[in-house]
Amino acid sequence: MSEAKTTVETPLMKQYNAIKVKYPGALLLFRVGDFYETFGQDAVAASKVLDIVLTKRGAGSTSETELAGFPHHALDTYLPKLVRAGHRVAICDQLEDPRFVKGIVKRGVTELVTPGLSYNDNVLDKKQNNFLASIFAGKELGISFLDVSTGEFYVAQGNENYVLKLLQSFAPSEVIFSKSSRERFEKLFGAEYNTFALDEWVYAYDYGYDKLISQFKTASLKGFGIDGSGEAIIAAGAILHYLDDTEHKDTSHIASISRIDEDRYVWLDKFTIRNLEIVHSQHEGGVPLIEILDHTVTPMGSRQLRKWMILPLKSKEAIDERLRVVETFHADDYFADKVREPLKQIVDLERLISKVAVNRINPRELLQLKRSLKCIVPIRQALKDHTSVELQRMAEQLHPCEDLIDKIERELREDVSINSNQGNIIKEGIDAELDELQKIAFSGKDYLLQVQKREVERTGISSLKISYNKVFGYYLEVSNANKDKVPADWIRKQTLVNAERFITEELKVYEEKILHAEEKLVVIEQRIFNAMVQHAATFISQIQQNARVIGQLDCLLSFASVARANRYNKPEINDSLILDIKAGRHPVIEKQLPVGESYVPNDIYLDSDQQQILIITGPNMAGKSALLRQTALIVLLAQMGSFVPAESASIGIVDKIFTRVGASDNLSRGESTFMVEMTETASILNNLSHRSLILMDEIGRGTSTYDGVSIAWAIVEYLHNHGHKDCKPKTLFATHYHELNQLAEDLTRVKNFNVSVKEIGDKIIFMRKLKEGGSEHSFGIHVAQLAGMPNKVVFRANEILHFLEKDKHKNEKKKIQELPKATPQMNLFEADPRFMQIQDMLSKVDINTLSPVEALLKLNEVIGVLKK
């Protein structure tokens, strides 16, 4: 700190400025002594985000600048706050020990932490990957994702729709692209992500290719199956360049790259991911599907689950493989527990091994790594002993890492601290010199105690104590009351208010011995510890593989556990074009119903011969949207390998799920709700396949009735008669336009259904049962009344409705003109003579003089009138 005070404007600031210009756009944390300092605009920003004091240096002079700093040990607390606020933070450390340097110490940036690149446990969320994305636009769009904390590296290539969908599914914390495409990409998605633009030359094919092969130490990219994907390679290469740029030099844990193959996974358009609330809810406080489904017990498991949820499978074999494992666990709870219990003890293997790769693991974490690896042993054995082929295969993929476990167990103490430089981390018997030094340090201290005892006896000062501080080393402290008993051979060092401190020749000799031993001891311990870390680094790929298998196992166990808890059943997956769900339920709504209410299950049958499109009508609030969503969610769950909330489900593989549910506003982008609705619908119609499942909820409601009915009508016709004869996408079409029921008369594969209600008097009861046939009313006005609409409006709306329904063929405009004008009759109090009487009674009451008993009597009178 003193350096900052005395030289802030001169050599230190010169050094600061030289470093600062190398990291444009980054907030520079500049280590000065025990503090990280920020200057100028960085200080203003840091003081705001971190709520720390902003001061001024050199006030009045030309070099006046703002300054804000915090103690270096608080870095772990403050850094995440800066990163979460969207800052890129360059950490500039002292590269030399100031004690041995004259003048200014050498400094340099040791890491540039950005929202998408972090190893810091406080920045990362255990349950989620922290992806950095890179995009490149050539003929197609290439995209790459890297989670530096786990080493996962992906690429994909396709049209704009596909890439945007992936962006939304992977939800990266930061997106990078070339400066020349800034405008295009920022228009496309900029506001949603932290972005950073790199120089254009970085996004070049040869450069990207070379970067990738040198990272993976291979001659080509053929082995990764990405050789032909030019745009994707360019995007991925730029990520590696960005790692260099941000001082992330140790990257041996990024050892391979995989392609997100569009053909392997169900296509969920970006609206579907949002509309079905798979991983995020659209409403504050809402519950996404993942919350119901996540019974995982490890961080790898919950991250894997997220990936499985956004990438459901299309191959029957692959789905069946997962389902068989879930069935095994589901059927045998005892066995499931046998695997789950050790699984619970496993910590974040994947992120720990990344820390090994970048040499940032501390002794306690290495110990955790070992303990977790040990837990894999019984899991591996249990899987191996089971008759299931899938489980045996998983057992084979789990590496026992015995050698590493043995080494850590042999060398590392079980009670280590976080820091490797505080001693006491290596066990006895590993290094003879270390043991010797431990003895000296330990017996030296023991010796000091004997000296203390002896001197107490010699001097008669019973309160005499030997203590230690950094300035004098070991000293004897004597209270003022005993000062005259101090022997002549003690050397006075310091006088305090109540005591005096002395050293002796003998103490100095021992001090030298102990301190020397301790210093050497720490050096040896660190050497042994580093060797252990290096040994662990030779297990990176095995441990990464273990982490993957553990993640998958955890997910499958979670599916079994959810199935048990929520009464899900195993779906039957086939290659037909039939969807046959018996007694299906909505997995989220069924968990949220008020106590005493239970979810009403429904059957859905769709095929491509007889029943391709269901027109579902029914009153507002009947449960149409819930039915649509539950159908898609059941298909999704089945194809990710989970059991489903249904009595039975026979599912002909679906390759794309499209939804247009509800009117989601997009005003922030300047598009009208109707425009969004039409864009989403257009995207559905342009991307159909014969295995698609389409959910359309109230298409056309954003415009006039006639326009709306016409558009909805044309869409249903298109879906029925679309292009070539094999393309008959299964469709659920919920609508309030009862006119659409007429479609079933001409189009053979269109069927009318309705979600039923019962009318009892002027009340309706929601039955929530899907029945064949169309429905007549929407009961919208009834729902408006339930919602607390003023009575006047409800009365008037009913009046208009009856009038309109009297003659449906007349011109609507004319009908409205023919409507009787709203009359004062609408006033409740005037409409009913009883109310008039009550009004009269109440107007005479003087509330100020009314006693409670009189009030009760008056109330009784009112009730009497109402009963008339």
Ligand X SMILES: Nc1ncnc2c1ncn2[C@@H]1O[C@H](COP(=O)(O)OP(=O)(O)OP(=O)(O)O)[C@@H](O)[C@H]1O
Minimum distance from residue 619 beta carbon to ligand X (Å): 7
Judged by CB under 6 A, which stretch of 170-178, 230-238, 294-302, 616-624 contacts ligand X? 616-624
Distances (CA, A) of 194 to 146, 172, 801: 15, 9, 51
What residues are paired with 196 via a beta bridge?
176
Residue 623 is assigned to a ligand binding site: yes
Residue 547, annotated as binding a ligand: no
Q: Is 625 annotated as a binding residue?
A: yes
* Secondary structure of 727-751 as H, E, C letters: CCCEEEEECCCHHHHHHHHHCCCEE
Q: Which range binds ligand X by CB under 6 A, 297-305, 569-577, 613-621, 789-797?
A: 613-621
Q: How far is the CB of 48 from ligand X (least distance, A)?
A: 42
- Residue 561 Cα distances to 320, 337, 387, 566, 663, angstroms: 18, 10, 20, 9, 35
Q: How far apart are the C-alpha atoms of 604 and 652, rounded to whole Å?
A: 13
Binders of ligand X among residues 576 to 605 (CB under 6 A) are 589, 599-600
Interacting residue with ligand X among 342, 584, 623, 641 (CB under 6 A): 623
Smallest distance, ligand X to C-beta of residue 708, A: 14
Helix (H, G, I), strand (E, B) or coil at 150: coil
Size of the site for ligand X (CB under 6 A): 12
Question: Is residue 624 near ligand X by the rule CB under 6 A?
Answer: yes
Binding site annotation covers 473? no
159 labelled ligand-binding: no
Q: How many CB atoms lie within 10 A of CB 133?
A: 26
Q: Which residues of 532-545 are buried (b: 16+ CB within 10 A; e: fewer)?
A: bbeebbebbebbbe
Query: Cβ of residue 589: shortest distance to ligand X, in angstroms?
Result: 5
Pairing of strands 107-113, 88-94: antiparallel
Nearer to ligand X by C-beta: 46 or 600? 600
Residue 622, annotated as binding a ligand: yes
> Is residue 620 near ligand X by the rule CB under 6 A?
yes
Pick 573 or 693: Cβ nearer ligand X? 693
10 Å CB burial of residue 780 (0-12, 13-18, 19+) is middle
Q: Cβ 406 to ligand X, closest distance in Å?
A: 57
Could you give the CA distance from residue 168 to residue 178 in angstroms, rounded to a whole number?
A: 20
Q: x-or-dash pattern for ligand X, window 740-769, by CB under 6 A?
A: ----------------------------x-
Stretch of 370-378, 617-625, 641-649, 721-729 lying at the interface with ligand X (CB under 6 A)? 617-625
In the bound complex, what is the minimum distance in angstroms from residue 630's beta carbon to ligand X?
A: 8
* Residue number of the CB atom closest to ligand X: 623
Alpha carbon of residue 315 to chain centroid: 27
Q: Which stretch binds ligand X (CB under 6 A): 257-265, 507-515, 622-630, 637-645?
A: 622-630
Q: Shortest distance, CB of residue 652 to ligand X, whole angstroms?
A: 24
Angle at 827 between CA 822 and CA 830, to 5 degrees: 120
Nearer to ligand X, 504 or 602 (CB): 602
The residue behind tokens 């509800």 is 662
**Window contacting ligand X (CB under 6 A); options: 614-622, 634-642, 674-682, 712-720:** 614-622
The phi-psi region of residue 37 (left if phi > 0; otherwise alpha if psi is between -120 and 50; otherwise beta) is beta
When the beta carbons of 624 and 660 are compared against ligand X, the nearer one is 624
* Span 700-729, contacts to ligand X by CB under 6 A: none
**Rule CB under 6 A: is residue 276 a binding residue for ligand X?**
no
Smallest distance from ligand X to CB 768, Å: 4
Q: Cβ 310 to ligand X, closest distance in Å?
A: 24
Contact in structure between 445 and 467 (CB atoms under 8 Å) = no
Residue 622 makes contact with ligand X by CB under 6 A? yes
Beta bridge partner(s), residue 147: 152
> Which sign, positive or negative, has the C-alpha torsion 276, 278, 281, 285?
positive
**Candidates 29-37, 225-233, 257-265, 621-629; binding stretch for ligand X (CB under 6 A):** 621-629
Q: Does 281 bind ligand X (CB under 6 A)?
A: no
Nearest one of 311, 306, 262 to 156, comparing CA atoms? 262
Tell whether the torsion through CA atoms of 369, 375, 377 and 379 is positive or negative: negative
Residue list, annotated binding site for ATP = 618-625
Binding site for ligand X (CB under 6 A): 589, 599-600, 618, 620-626, 768
